[in-house]
Each structure stands twice: as C-alpha cells, then as structure tokens.
Structure 1
Amino acid sequence: MRVVITGAGGFVGSALVERLATSGGLSPDKPGITELVAVDSVVSGAPEGVMVLEGDIRDASVQQSIVEKPCDVIFHLAAVPGGAAARDYDLGWSVNVEATAALFAAVAAQDSPARLVFSSSIGVFGVPLPRDRVDDATLPLPTMSYGAQKLMMEYLLADFARRELVDGVAVRLPGIIARPRQPGGHLSAYMSDILHALAAGKTFTCPVSRTAASWFMSRRRCVDNLVHAATVSGEALGGRRGFNLPALHLTMDELIEGVVEHFGPSVRDLVRYEPDAALVAQFGAYPPIETPIADAAGFVHDGAAADLVSRALDLESTNTANTGAVA
C-alpha cells in the first residue's frame, strides 16, 4: 500500500507521518504500508524508511512526483491557513484552490480510485453562527477566504467522488491544539498559546472573553480521526463526502479548568482578558456542535477538558495522577 501525506512538515502532518511510520498500517485488517511519502516544502526529522519529497505543492513536477506511482491513500493537508490566506489572497488561492484542484485531478487520473482524505475546516461556516447549534444540516456560509476556498474544494472532491474518479472524504477540522508558540498564519493561535503559557507558569493575556466558546480537538485525536477517515466505508457515511468531526465545545473558563486539573488552581490567576471583538466573533461565539454522521461512522472527540489538555500537551508521560486522564 502506497500512502502519501502532503503538508507532512506541518503541525498535524508531522504527527500523522510519525503515527503511520510507527504503526506500519492504517488498521489491523488493512494491508501494511509499503511506501509512505511525506510531501512538503520542508520535512524535518522524518522517521527512517519514510520517503521525503520536498518542494512547492504548486509545482507541477511535485504533483507528478506524488502520482508517479499509484497512490492507495493520500492525505491532503497542505494549505495556507486562515490568517495568512486573508493577508495574501493570491497565495491562499494558488495553494488552497489551484494547487489542490490540480492535485485532485492528478490523483483522479489513476486507473484505480485512491482514498483521498482532505483536511477541510470549520472555517466553511461563517459568522454569525446559529445560536442553538451547528449540525450536519447547517448550511456552510463562509465569511473568510480560507473557508470559502476549503468549501470549494469540498464540492470538487464530492464531484470527483460522484464520478468515481477518487474515493474522497473531506473532514472539517476544528481548532487543533496545542500548536507550538511561534509566528504563523493561524488567527486562532491563542487557543494553543494559553495552554503553553499556563503549563509553564507564565501569565497570559487572552484575546477573547472567559465565556467565549469554541470547538477544540487535540492533535493526537485529530490524527486518530484522519487515520479513521482513510479506512471508513462510504456506506457508513451515508453518502456524505464532507462533514463535521466531533469536537469538544468549551468556554475558555472550561478549558482553563481542564488545565487546573493538571497544574493546580493557581493557573487561574495567570490569565487576564482583553477581548478582541473580531476574534470573539470569528472564534469565540460557537454554539454546541452535533455530528451524527461522524459519530455513527466511528469518529470521536477528546472526551473531557482534562483529557483534551493531557493529549494536547503530551502529559501522559508525566504525573497525571490527580486527573485520572487517559491517553
């Protein structure tokens, strides 16, 4: 089985490469991985045995290298994230739409349809969101270029799947934590930054209010769900090719209480709030999310705030006796 991961040098992609290189397969009842290809502009520290392909995903030669041999499964994670796509529209369009569409077409030219797992985003939903809930019937109405670009590619993937050119699945990722504290294109970086700061005993100025509610998922759980997306049957999805993943719906207070269970009540005093109205509107006004399609198909969230924090900060190797958190 030949498996390709684009965006393999990124936060989620690198963890997915590590998982598949370590496990050697997608599931116990599937053939083992004979070739794992990691694609990105830079891929650092790839495990032994992983084939590394460095280059710009917009480059036709890179796309052709991806499909020079048939792909059985391809995870397309490469993207220009929301903030960066807003600041540089041309860059976002060229990567998130043009390069993605070209890659889909290259994979579709294979003799046998590959399972193509596309990392879409909850950014397909704009603001304001419905007050009561978001579910599988909620109409995507993006209000950011990034969300619009992801939605376009969801529709293209569904059309390719309808024509039986690819076996496509688009999973809409929520806020994935805890990303490293570094400059980047994610407007929602505060969701990760607050965990790193509190874990280090440092003060943190939160740009949304304590009651601001968002959808969260740890990187480890995200990788679990991506791997599951590579093997879940089309029948289990009820004909849907793009859908929401289960996520924890938490206020910032609830997230901080998850941190308290690991690091003690003193971390509450490290946080002060200076809400940014635009960030609150875009990322802090999320209603509960219901995901019956994903639930029935076996996708899962992190369970509880303390478990989310444990996975997000890789605390399983430290003393978590006070929380009872499990991996």
Structure 2
Amino acid sequence: MRVLVTGADGFIGRALVAELLHASDVAGKKITRLLLVDRQFEKQYSDSRVRIHCGDIGDPRLLRRVLADGVSIVFHLASVPGAAAEKDYSLGYQVNLLGSQEIIEQIRCMEPAVRLVFASSVAVYGDELAGQLHERSFVRPRLSYGCHKHMIELLVDDLGRRGEIDGCAVRLPGVVARPQSRGMGSAFMSDLLVHIAEDRHYICPVSETATAWWLSLKCCVENLVRLAEVDAASLDKHRIIQLPVLHLSIAQVVDALAKRFGEERRSLVTFEPDAHIEKLFGQYPKIRTPWARQLGLAHDGNVHRLVRNALAEHAGELGKPASGATHKHLVKESV
C-alpha cells in the first residue's frame, strides 16, 4: 500500500510519518511506500520505504510524478498557518485553497477510491461563539485561513457523496506543544507549555480566564491514523469531523504545569492580554463531539495527561505511549 503525506516535514507531519513507519501498516495493510511532500526537508530518513519530494503542493507536475504509481491513502496536512495566511492572502490562497484543490482533483476518480484525510481547522467556527457548541454547529470563519479550510471541507464532502474520493475533513484544535509556532495566532498555547517546562519567563497574550481547545501531538496523530482506518460506510454519514478536545482555561493549564514542575514556576508567567488574539483564540466554549467519539476518536483525557503528553520531549518520555490512550495505534515519537 502506498501512502502520501503532504506537509510531511511540519510539526504534525513528522510525528505522523514516525508513527506510520513504526506501525508498518494501516488497517491491516502493509505500507510498501511512504511518499512525503513538502517545500523543504530538514528531517532525513534511511527507511527504504520513504520517498521524499520537495516542491509546491499546487504544482500539477510534481503531484503527477508523486502519484504516477497510484496511492491508497493521502494525509493532506500542508497549509500556510492562520496568521501568516491572513498577512499574505495570495500565499494562503495558493496553498490552502488552490493547492488543496489540485491534490483532490488528481486523486479524484482513482480506482479504488483514495482515502483522503484532510486537516481542516477549528478556525472555521469564527469568533462569535456562545454557549456550548456541537460538532454540527454553524460555522462562520473570520480569517481567510478558516474560509479556505471550510471551502475544502465542502469539496471533500461533496466528492465523497459522489463516490469520487473516500475522504473526510478533520477539524484540528490547538495541537501542542510546538517547538516553534511562527505564523500561528494560537502560538501562545504551545509557548506557555514550553516556556514553563524550560524554566523561562513568558508574557502571555491572553488572560488567565481565556479558554481554548487543547490536544497533544501524540493524541492528534493517533486520531489521524484512526481516520485512515475507519470503514467507508461510517464516513458516508458525516465526512466533516470535529476532533474531541479538552476545553481548558489558561489558569487550569498553569495549575497543571505548576503541579508537574513546581509551584515556583507560576511566577514565570505574566499576562498582557491582546484583545484581538483573545477574541479569536481565547474564547472557545465547550463543544460536544458524539459522532467523533462513535468513530473511536478521543482527546488526552485530562489536563495532566495533556501536559505530560505534550511535553514528553522535555520530560524525557519519548517513546512512551500516552496513558489513557484508547486506540490501536500509539505514537512512539514526538517531534
């Protein structure tokens, strides 16, 4: 079986590739070739199954070369992050919208139908969130990034209905802890964790009462692999999927960090709220995800597991499975 990962050298991409290489199979089928696409690669691989392709995902010629011998599963992760896409509309449009359309067009109507797992974002919901949300709640994106993600969600849903791809769009929350979060409005989520873990001062751009949706890298990758394994009949019911998330305030996360690393580290954090950032990324309400849970998807369980899983590298815990994980596949590496 041939598997394609776009954005393969990114934060989530590297961890996903590590899991796929470790697992060696998806849904009981052996991975014979792992095709990796990104604009550039810092990570190198010695595994003979890996083929690296550097270039723009919107380049039709590159994609034709990559897909020449067919593909069974596509994990489409590549994108320009939200704040960067808002600053440079043309770049976001080319990558997040046109690049995604090009990939889908090239796998459309392949036989058998290709399983596509498209990484969408909670940015589709916008900033007018009140009360408790449901995974089927109305969306109104307020960033170009979220608009383009929602457009591709609808395309995936429509082509799935037509039977031309076997796809799903999965809305990712703030996945932590990124070592570098440039270009992301939700960067404070990772930066808070990393700075306290490394005993460094951090100026937080949202208040202690700000709330966000949290998921560790380990749990995120596990869910992505699960979506590649779900039977096609189940996906026919709903192809746009919101991952289960932990709804936590900054204060709750700081409490968990203080418990893990020592009470004295509370003093490392000072708060200088930015009203714009807090409105867009720090006012998320609770959200119910019953359909995602029926598919076997899950969050980290509680804030303490989230912190431990997200900071596994800092705690020297690489290679240990996430306690509380419920799925077949567990991430063995956090990159």
TM-score (normalizing by structure 2): 0.91
Q: How does 1:124-135 map to 2 (within 5 A)?
A: 124-130=124-130, 132-135=131-134
Corresponding residue to 2:233 among 209, 223, 235: 235
Task: Give 3-state SS (helix, strand or coil) of 2:215's partner.
Answer: strand
Q: CA 1:164–1:325 in structure 2 vs 1: closer, same or farther (change >3 Å)?
A: closer
Tell me which amino acid in the other structure corresponds to 1:210: E
Partner of 2:91: 91
User: Number of matched residues?
Assistant: 319
Tell me the alpha carbon deviations over residues 171-219 of structure 1, each in whole angstroms, 9 at most, x when there is no partner.
000001111136x211111110111110111111110000100001011
Equivalent positions of 1:174-185 (< 5 A) are 174-181=173-180, 184-185=182-183
Structure 1 equivalent of residue 167 of structure 2 = 168
- 1:90-112: CA deviation from partner (whole Å, max 9, x where unpaired): 11011111111111010014222
The one-letter amino acid paired with 2:38 is D
Q: 1:313 aligns with which of 311, 314, 319?
A: 311
Alignment RMSD, CA only? 1.7
Amino acid of the structure 2 residue aligned with 1:114: V
AA of the residue aligned to 1:150: K
Match of 1:101 in 2: 101
* Alpha-carbon offset, residue 269 of structure 1: 1.4
Instruction: Give, in whole Å, the separation in 1 of the partners of 2:183 and 2:40.
Output: 17
**Percent identical across equivalent pairs?**
39
Query: 1:277 and 1:136 mapped to 2: Cα distance?
Result: 26
Match among 206, 210, 213 for residue 204 of structure 2: 206
Q: Distance in 1 between matches of 2:75 and 2:314?
A: 27
CA contact (8 A) 1:4 1:73 kept: yes
1:44 to 21, 42, 45: 42
Matched residue, 2:255: 257
* Whole-angstrom distance in 1 between the partners of 2:83 and 2:89: 10
Q: Which segment drifts farther, 265-274 or 212-221?
A: 265-274
Q: Distance in 2 between matches of 1:257 and 1:146?
A: 32
Runs of 4+ in 1 over 4 A off after TM superposition: 324-327
SS at match of 2:25: coil
How is 1:1-327 mapped onto 2 (pairs within 5 angstroms)? 1-27=1-27, 30-47=28-45, 48-49=47-48, 50-130=50-130, 132-181=131-180, 184-237=182-235, 239-314=237-312, 318=316
Would you say the 8 A contact 1:238–1:293 is kept in 2?
no
SS in 1 for 2:80: coil
- Structure 2: give runs of 5+ residues left out of the alignment: 326-335
- Give the direction of change, closer, same or farther, for the CA distance of 1:316–1:207 in structure 2 (3 Å limit): closer
